[in-house]
Homo-oligomer: A and B are copies of this chain.
């Protein structure tokens, strides 16, 4: 008799599989206020590792962390016309504080361009103060009518970078640097997701930006997820907040700015990129737990051995957990670690002790085989690196095999039913984009023929990547 599946199979109902996995792997729960979420310890552990890896890259790019208030005076939002138009429908508004009605209602930040510019305009005096490179890790609120855990939540966690530069070129180059060296490098080499780096069309730009760079990933069902964005803000906010500096020539000049962010949405992207019918598969470089050493039975020699193996792997630089909770049946624990997607399981029972071996189960390619215990400190790190590469290769393979090159709008819409379409932007244009949107298909980004990021929408040979998206 076949076992009942732990999760709804992906092929039966992908959204339900996603929700099942999040619940059963104990990643998150829905919050009590509609659209909010509770991130449980294992899910938060994934986010913490993302933060560590990202934070190191952000600092490497020269930015410093700071913290700006959660509450923004409503009047700030209205100073940049496109910005307020973009965010007004999503705002949460505080009207009462300390038992009294407030004189001016305050908005819970949906993003911090406005309040940060208020301070940049005080801090920046001269060209010596530039570039000013700031990042913050924070929660933001955007009221969400169709929430989905991690992907679209009324409150989410993110980092938002905000910078001011002396010239257009410097700002442009910094937005591009974050796009490739921080986000692109992290998503490709840590998350193991084969993201496409491109440029948003005018329609899809951030509210207040002159250019938005994006990273798009293909999920297991062929749909696209925007994993992060880096914006050139031009001088739009500088004008609204009068953020000026004294140039070397003694002139007052407006600064040029960027902003850029990634959020807990990446956890959703991770799940839908790498998950399978048995649960999550976490890329080893990200994994908070890279290997779990399981005692099959609770006898003393087995317990001693799993602890010893744990110590030896830890000494070899592996992030390891020892599971000696033998009052819970082994089978249930094994399924749980599989659901949680821990890359390597090392299972030790009484018979293994006699042989000096342990069973090594690999979550990413699947399968298990006995391995001499003494070789584990060499074998496990090698296996982890192999499986990291395997996830990226699988992600790439999926994206390539499910992306069709097409030349007409009808073909693009058809391809987007099961995957992505690449179509010359000159064939589509803003009108074609609007027509596709009526069918729920969007231009995810513009890319150059050689796969690089085009410097303008109308650069010759520009391709549009078209898909349904989360």
| CB–CB B31/A97 < 8 A | no
Residue pairs across A and B with Cβ atoms less than 8 A apart, 17 shown, are A31-B68, A31-B115, A32-B73, A33-B73, A33-B106, A36-B69, A45-B65, A48-B65, A90-B98, A91-B97, A92-B94, A93-B95, A93-B97, A94-B95, A98-B144, A99-B143, A108-B108
Residue of B nearest to A106 (CB): B33
Mark out the residues of chain A between 41 and 99 whose CB falls within 8 Å of any chain B CB in the assembled complex: 41, 44-45, 47-48, 64-73, 76, 88-99
Q: Is A118 in the interface zone, CB < 8 Å from B? A: yes
Q: Is A204 in the interface zone, CB < 8 Å from B? A: no
Q: Is A470 in the interface zone, CB < 8 Å from B? A: no
Count this chain's copies in the assembly. Answer: 2
Q: Chain B's nearest CB lies how many Å from the CB of A73?
A: 5
CA distance A185 to B325 in the complex (A): 31
Q: Chain B's nearest CB lies how many Å from the CB of A38?
A: 5
Residue of B nearest to A76 (CB): B32
Most chain B CB within 10 A, of A44, A88, A122, A325, is at A44
With A69-B155, A73-B33 in contact, do A92 and B88 touch (Cβ < 8 Å)? no
9 nearest A-B pairs in the assembled complex, by CB-CB distance: A98-B143, A41-B64, A36-B69, A31-B69, A39-B67, A93-B96, A33-B71, A97-B143, A95-B95
| CB–CB B36/A71 < 8 A | yes
**Hey, which chain B residues are within 8 Å of A90, CB to CB?**
98
| CB–CB B69/A40 < 8 A | no
CA distance A104 to B389 in the complex (A): 49
Q: How does the 8 Å CB contact mask read for A169-181 relative to B, with 1 for contact and 0 for none?
A: 0000000000000
With A29-B119, A94-B92, A95-B95 in contact, do A41 and B66 touch (Cβ < 8 Å)? yes
What total of chain A residues lie within 8 Å of the partner, measured CB to CB? Answer: 58
| CB–CB A32/B115 < 8 A | yes
Residue of B nearest to A288 (CB): B64
Interface of chain A, helix or strand or loop or mixed?
mixed
**Hey, which chain B residues are within 8 Å of A32, CB to CB?**
69, 72-73, 76, 115, 118
CA distance A141 to B108 in the complex (A): 12
Q: Is A37 in the interface zone, CB < 8 Å from B? A: yes
> A45: which of B64, B92, B154 is its contact (CB, 8 Å)?
B64
CA distance A76 to B65 in the complex (A): 34
Mark out the residues of chain A between 169 and 204 whose CB falls within 8 Å of any chain B CB in the assembled complex: none
CA distance A97 to B144 in the complex (A): 9
| CB–CB B33/A69 < 8 A | yes
CA distance A269 to B343 in the complex (A): 44
**Hey, which chain B residues are within 8 Å of A210, CB to CB?**
none
**Hey, which chain B residues are within 8 Å of A31, CB to CB?**
68-69, 71, 115
| CB–CB B98/A134 < 8 A | no
Q: How does the 8 Å CB contact mask read for A12-33 relative to B, with 1 for contact and 0 for none?
A: 0000000000000000010111
**Hey, which chain B residues are within 8 Å of A143, CB to CB?**
97-99
Q: Is A10 in the interface zone, CB < 8 Å from B? A: no
